[in-house]
């Protein structure tokens, strides 16, 4: 006999529970496919969990988070290698949050006193949209380096960049370190001139003053479209101000079964950092 269900709508869960979101980048990389940056995200379900258990046995972390994003959203005909890492992380966070609605509990160590406190954060709702791009974004940002006064155009870091870093040989890494490789990959023009090859960009970058090199690195990070994971906080015990950075790496995306019980949510311990300093943390971006 046929099954008896209380469900009135038997459409696939992707159709029933998927949500439309606007990517922080406005999908500058495929404006005709994802108009105004809108994309449909699906909830993380048992099929994604099964796939994740198999996929996580393989290496290549950045390829994994890109593959995961393809499972969790309708990218249509978009070349996933051209997608900014921030958009990949956004899709993965939204898909995971749809199936795992409990807040994330972050335990912090105050840098001003011995106090260890807890911050409860709703992901991704509580995360600000950093460096959101306008509808007419040309695909690059621009900065003027203070010492050299060089005008530099650079694009957001994309999936292809991090995969290339991950797959580089040890010989290649001895010649060009990962930070230099990442910074130079994103440069599209200097002084209005387009680089002929990677070697030209690396030679130029290594000739910059230390402060110019650091400025370009920081400007690229600040201009990257993504959900902000750097949280400002005031200690409950001493009123000291500091910030901490949320880590959304493989531990956050591990395929644990979502729990409905109160308080069952990922818990991460992070050190607080005083004032405006940079948090210590992994080189890998969120996701």
* Domain termination site, one of 188, 222, 256: 222
Residue 31 maps to a domain: yes
- Residue position matching structure tokens 């230099």: 180
Give residue 34's pLDDT.
98
| Spatial separation of the C-alpha atoms in residues 250 and 64, rounded to whole Å | 10
Predicted confidence (pLDDT) per residue in 82-133, tens digit: 999 999 999 998 998 888 766 777 777 888 999 888 878 887 888 899 999 9
Task: Tell whether omega for the bond before 124 is within 30 degrees of 0, i.e. cis.
Answer: yes
Interhelix angle 159-167/85-99, nearest 10 degrees:
100
For the segment 240-252, the average pLDDT, to the nearest whole number, is: 71
Residue 235 maps to a domain: no
Beta strands, E only, 82-229: 104-109, 116-121, 129-130, 141-144, 151-154, 187-190, 226-227
What's the whole-model pTM score?
Answer: 0.81
Residue 139 maps to a domain: no
- Identify the band that residue 75 occupies on the pLDDT scale cut at 50, 70 and 90: very high
DSSP string, 45-79: -HHHHHHHHHHTTSS-HHHHHHHHHHHSB--TT--
Predicted confidence (pLDDT) per residue in 190-245, tens digit: 999 999 999 999 999 999 999 999 999 999 999 999 999 887 888 888 999 888 77
CB-CB contact of 36 with 21 (8 Å):
no
- Least Cα distance to 40 among 106, 98, 108 occurs for 98
Give residue 253's pLDDT.
59
- Least Cα distance to 108 among 273, 284, 278, 277 occurs for 273
| Spatial separation of the C-alpha atoms in residues 192 and 157, rounded to whole Å | 20
Residue 286 maps to a domain: no
Q: What is the DSSP letter of 180?
A: H
Residue 126 maps to a domain: no
Q: What range defines the domain where residue 198 resides?
A: 151-222
Bridge partner residues of 105 (DSSP): 120, 267
* Domain termination site, one of 222, 257, 274: 222
Give residue 270's pLDDT.
45
Residue 110 maps to a domain: no
Q: Same structural domain for residues 83 and 159?
A: no
| Spatial separation of the C-alpha atoms in residues 176 and 41, rounded to whole Å | 37
- H or E stretch covering 84: none
Residue 66 maps to a domain: yes
| Spatial separation of the C-alpha atoms in residues 229 and 286, rounded to whole Å | 8
Residue 234 maps to a domain: no
Report the domain count for the chain: 2
* Domain termination site, one of 172, 189, 222: 222
Mean pLDDT for the chain? 85
Query: Is pLDDT larger for residue 255 or for residue 220?
Result: 220
- H or E stretch covering 170: helix 170-175
């Amino acid at each position: 006999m046929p099954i008896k269900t209380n469900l009135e709508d038997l459409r696939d869960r992707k159709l029933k529970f998927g949500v439309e979101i606007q990517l922080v980048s406005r999908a500058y990389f495929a404006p005709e496919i994802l108009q105004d940056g809108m994309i449909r995200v699906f909830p993380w379900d048992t099929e994604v969990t099964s796939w994740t258990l198999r996929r996580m046995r393989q290496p290549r972390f950045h390829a994994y988070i890109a593959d995961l994003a393809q499972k969790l959203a309708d990218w249509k005909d978009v070349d996933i290698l051209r997608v900014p890492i921030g958009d990949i992380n956004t899709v993965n966070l939204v898909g995971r949050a749809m199936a795992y609605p409990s807040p994330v509990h972050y335990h912090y160590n105050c840098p001003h006193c011995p106090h260890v406190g807890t911050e409860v954060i709703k992901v991704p709702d509580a995360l600000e949209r950093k460096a959101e791009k306008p509808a007419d974004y040309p695909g690059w940002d621009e900065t003027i380096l203070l010492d050299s006064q060089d005008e530099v155009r650079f694009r957001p870091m994309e999936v292809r960049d991090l995969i290339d870093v991950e797959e580089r040989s040890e010989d290649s890494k001895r010649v060009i370190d990962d930070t230099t490789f990442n910074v130079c990959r994103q440069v599209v023009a200097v002084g209005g001139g387009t680089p002929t090859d990677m070697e030209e960009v690396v030679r130029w970058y290594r000739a910059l003053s230390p402060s110019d090199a650091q400025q370009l690195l920081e400007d690229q990070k600040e201009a990257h479209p993504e959900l902000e994971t750097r949280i400002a906080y005031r200690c409950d015990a001493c009123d000291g101000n500091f910030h901490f950075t949320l880590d959304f790496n493989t531990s956050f995306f591990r395929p644990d079964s979502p729990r409905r019980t109160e308080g069952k949510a990922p818990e991460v311990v992070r050190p607080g950092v005083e004032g405006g300093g940079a948090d210590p943390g992994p080189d890998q971006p969120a996701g």
